[in-house]
Structure 1
């Protein structure tokens, strides 16, 4: 499996320059704020030549929050997404997190299925991101 390393601002620039290779036609530039690399860099992972990445942080309530995770189209189906999740879970656990959390839109069936295969429970929360902005909240306890 590809070695993971801490994400850099150069990695972030490469991701932003090639977003469709990770996210298709979805406009997710807003999810890629530099703070995830600059301020939460110890939980921002990149694989290989930016074959995949995960940006997350540890919330004060002992929750490892997975903000964005994506695998480049050239590396899908290799287990890289699982590898990124495992690395983040380990980092979160070492910092005192007792569970993981991720958020996605109700229409993102692929993400929901992926997280459920990793042991997450999916729950639809009405108005999670404001009126009319339902989200699926994915959670998993850390052993």
Structure 2
């Protein structure tokens, strides 16, 4: 499977699957079309051998801090989990962020999502802290940072 840049045409493919990939949780509002329009160069898609969406990563270069890049959302189809697709997407993002002079990558996840917390730590992210009410009342998040060496 080859990694390619996300395109606006991928929006419907991702939105049509993301809630199911999260066990029916309403995740689609976290992925407005603007990510597929304005961050093509730092967002990626992987299709399986049948041309079906297998994984995606939505990321961007910080407009505020020229040293940072940010991973906003990553998804892997349930039938492809454990194949290293998420790691491949992150590594591609790290490579491209370095190419743009970025020295660190940030990401956040829910502290209740233990698999995501473990995954980020396995990728070399450090948990800076848990930010209470980060995404609104009761929406705590683990704030991660990964230095790019």
Runs of at least 4 residues off by over 6 Å: none
1:137 corresponds to which of 136, 140, 143: 143
Instruction: Provide the secondary structure at the position in 2 that maps to 1:69.
Output: strand
2:58 corresponds to which of 55, 60, 68: 55
Q: Which runs of 5+ in 1 are unaligned?
A: none
Cα distance in structure 2, aligned partners of 1:132 and 1:16: 25
2:79 corresponds to which of 65, 71, 74: 74
For the aligned residues, what is the CA RMSD? 1.4
Aligned-residue offset at 1:3: 0.9
Number of residue-to-residue matches in the alignment:
142
1:126 corresponds to which of 104, 121, 132: 132
Contact 1:43 1:91 in 2 (8 A): yes
Q: Map 1:9-88 to 2 at 5 A.
A: 9-48=8-47, 49-60=52-63, 61=65, 62-88=67-93
Q: Which runs of 5+ in 2 are unaligned?
A: none
Cα distance in structure 2, aligned partners of 1:30 and 1:109: 22
TM-score by length of 2: 0.89
